[in-house]
Structure 1
Amino acid sequence: MNFAIVGCGHIAKKHADAIQAADGATLFAVCDTVSEKMEPFVIDYGVEAFDDFSKLLANDNVDVINICTPSGFHGDLAVQAAAAGKHIVVEKPIALTLEDSQRIIDACKENNVKLSVVHPNRFRPVMMEIKELMNQGKIGKLSHANATVRWNRNQAYYDQAPWRGTKSLDGGVLMNQAIHNLDLILWLMGDVEEVYSMSATRLRDIEAEDVSTGVIRFKNGSLGMIEAATTIYPKNLEETISLFGETGSVKIGGTTATLFEHLTIEDLNDEESNTLIEKVKADPFGKPGHQWIIEDMVKAIEEDREPVVTGEDGKKALALVLALYDSAEKNTPVRVLD
């Protein structure tokens, strides 16, 4: 499958490397309105460069479009790509509004093309292990969960581009960083019914929030807590996911939530638990998540099935972020829209 990347900013290189490493995928082209941004890709990967998106879409050699532009542009670009019969891999978040996310989903269905949203953290070895344990019922009836992102994004990070930290093109810590953790919470715990959140812009000179806290009620009756910040001094401190059930307690931690920090499950003895902990510790990152996404898209096309991370998954994570925003603005509990 020939892939083309649209938007040659920071995340584009990760996509390019993932495509080059993925089985069944080739990086064919890049596209950006600023020619200088495409030059490193032309030199390093030997690809074609397009400064006109419509000309890229008209090229019959392109099978899949990877959308890596600022988030506020995802909707229009994805709809155009779908209309041109191109399959789509879109960076998180799928869009910044529910209307745009639904436009993308509908356009892909109408044009019979595949759609995948980049939520690669599901493919970390530790996450796949805990998901399997939960699928086997090892955690039991769920009590509550906690997701924490305590990271540093200094002012220089936001000053790299004028769209960073804006509400119209980027969003704040929830939309940009913690949406990965919200996707994981949804994937592990199920759909959300209601949220209550507070947020603030404390230390960074941006339009959106740099710190947010919130509580969640899931549709299965369990509860959750979210804490996300880019204000941690002087560097990233931790990213954790904790799950508590009737027959198991789990804490996944480290700087980027890649290790078991605690694992106690009724059906696992100490030796079995330690074996699982050490297995993950030996290879905490595994195959890069973006490569998983690319290879899954190739297989989804070949097998004519839905990708593992669907447009609907992306919309659910977006809906949760927007509900948290809405609650913080209104200072009241808010139901999550489907």
Structure 2
Amino acid sequence: MKTWNFGIVGAGLIADFHAKAIADIPNAKLVGCCDIVSARAKELADKNNCQAFESYEELLKSDDVDIVTIATPSGAHMEPTIAAAEAGKHVMCEKPLDVTLERIDAMTEAHEKSGTRLGGIFPYRFNDSQTVLREAINSGRFGVITYAGIYVPWWRTDEYYKDSWHGTWKLDGGGALMNLSIHMVDMLCDVMPPIESLQAYTGTLGHKIEAEDTAAAVLRYTNGALGVIYGTTASYPGRFRRFEITGTKGTVIQVENSFTVWQFAEEKPEDEEIRRKYGQIEGGGGVADPAAITHDNHTRNFKAFLDSLESGKDFWISGAEARKAVEVILAIYKSTKEQTQVKLN
């Protein structure tokens, strides 16, 4: 069995999750990392018994590296991703892929040209409860779906925004939506038809930052269903994220990784077991502390990427797929700026 050697670009908080995920995969090994702050790279390297490189350019010169994970600030994803493609390395890139569609498209094109793979990181897709929900939607159990909405009422302290990039347009690409609620926006992109149009408002109400800390949008999907996106980092003390979907034959409310409502007009034998298995609220990480999450679904995300490389099949969260959530969030920003409805599809 081939061992896939990883290098991590960026040695901040999320890089530690990448390192733990790689360590959990039997045929994966972390061989190097880098950061613009050399002390951070050394700390991560020492912790994981790998080499600290002076720059991503030096890391990419290493023949030992097969796959690069991008863990830099969001607006600095494109440059190392394109450089990796030119060096013949596959890439797994943190959300969002980058902060503009133009930069994302350049990343995708670079990997298409080089024949390497670009994969996105959206760990929520790998929750067991998400798989169960996806199957219920795809099998038509909701009848005519009339509504699907997400709610991310999180809290971040002022200290969170005191670094050089969080909440800035250049490096964060936005605020509550682009950095945090994007996980749940991706959930809509995963399980629902495309969003046809939206109308939105955003505000910077609880923090002194460039971008929004509160946003709300009303959606219409291409199947005619309606929906809502609500995301904030100004909701003390931070509450569980929530996904609601309803139709003419069923309703599900997912809170964190659990179901508080799982009800269908046509009951199936497995429904009671689903309610029992997923009835207790599990999760809660991230509502107020960005470090208070596990790396388990990062591991699943990375493992799925390796499986796609070994099988030759397309990776589920390709560059084009990971682009969708960014497109929706940028449409929300456009709707707010222009005070108008924005059409996407």
- Please confirm whether the aligned pair reaches a TM-score higher than 0.5, indicating the same fold: yes
- The residue correspondences of 1:195-274 to structure 2 (distance < 5 A) are 195-233=198-236, 235-253=237-255, 257-269=256-268, 272-274=270-272
AA in 1 matched with 2:168: T
Structure-1 separation of matches of 2:279 and 2:145: 26
Structure-1 separation of matches of 2:316 and 2:273: 28
Q: Contact 1:259/1:281 (CA < 8 Å) preserved in 2?
A: yes
- The residue correspondences of 1:23-34 to structure 2 (distance < 5 A) are 23-34=26-37
Q: Secondary structure at the match of 1:143?
A: strand
Shift of 1:39: 2.3
Q: Secondary structure at the match of 2:278?
A: helix
Q: Contact 2:34/2:53 (CA < 8 Å) preserved in 1?
A: yes
Taking a change above 3 Å as real, the CA distance of residues 283 and 65 of structure 1, as seen in their structure-2 partners, is farther
Taking a change above 3 Å as real, the CA distance of residues 14 and 243 of structure 1, as seen in their structure-2 partners, is same
Q: Contact 1:25/1:294 (CA < 8 Å) preserved in 2?
A: no
Structure-1 separation of matches of 2:274 and 2:23: 31
Shift of 1:274: 2.9
Shift of 1:281: 4.5
Structure-2 separation of matches of 1:172 and 1:87: 29
Q: Secondary structure at the match of 1:89?
A: strand
Q: In the alignment, what sits opposite 2:312?
A: 304
Q: Secondary structure at the match of 2:252?
A: strand
Q: Contact 2:201/2:216 (CA < 8 Å) preserved in 1?
A: yes
Q: Secondary structure at the match of 2:313?
A: coil
Shift of 1:266: 2.2
Pairwise CA RMSD of aligned residues? 1.6
Runs of 5+ in structure 1 lacking a partner? none
- The residue correspondences of 1:313-328 to structure 2 (distance < 5 A) are 313-328=321-336
Shift of 1:297: 1.4
Structure-1 separation of matches of 2:55 and 2:214: 38
CA offsets 1:119-140 (integer angstroms, 9 cap, x no match): 1101111111100111221122
CA offsets 1:78-112 (integer angstroms, 9 cap, x no match): 11111111000000001100001101111111111
Using the size of structure 1 for normalisation, the TM-score is: 0.94
Q: In the alignment, what sits opposite 1:290?
A: 298
Taking a change above 3 Å as real, the CA distance of residues 109 and 178 of structure 1, as seen in their structure-2 partners, is same
CA offsets 1:247-275 (integer angstroms, 9 cap, x no match): 1100001xxx2110101012325x64331
Shift of 1:284: 4.6
Q: Secondary structure at the match of 2:44?
A: helix
1:153 aligns with 2:156: yes
AA in 2 matched with 1:23: P
Shift of 1:316: 0.7
Structure-2 separation of matches of 1:43 and 1:52: 17
Structure-2 separation of matches of 1:84 and 1:281: 47
Using the size of structure 2 for normalisation, the TM-score is: 0.93
Q: Secondary structure at the match of 2:13?
A: coil
AA in 2 matched with 1:278: R
Q: Contact 2:17/2:295 (CA < 8 Å) preserved in 1?
A: no
Count of residue pairs the alignment pairs up:
331
CA offsets 1:286-306 (integer angstroms, 9 cap, x no match): 982110111111111111122
Q: In the alignment, what sits opposite 1:44?
A: 47
AA in 1 matched with 2:343: R
AA in 2 matched with 1:264: Q
Q: Contact 1:125/1:284 (CA < 8 Å) preserved in 2?
A: no
Instruction: Name whichever of 128-137 and 322-331 sits farther off.
Output: 128-137
Q: Secondary structure at the match of 1:146?
A: strand
Q: Secondary structure at the match of 1:178?
A: helix
Q: Secondary structure at the match of 1:238?
A: coil
CA offsets 1:220-251 (integer angstroms, 9 cap, x no match): 11111111110011x22121000011211000
- The residue correspondences of 1:43-82 to structure 2 (distance < 5 A) are 43-82=46-85
Structure-2 separation of matches of 1:98 and 1:205: 27
Q: In the alignment, what sits opposite 1:164?
A: 166
Q: Percent identity?
A: 32
Q: Secondary structure at the match of 1:140?
A: coil
Q: In the alignment, what sits opposite 2:286?
A: none
Structure-2 separation of matches of 1:77 and 1:59: 14
Structure-2 separation of matches of 1:223 and 1:27: 44
Q: In the alignment, what sits opposite 1:279?
A: 277
Shift of 1:76: 1.4
Structure-1 separation of matches of 2:266 and 2:40: 53
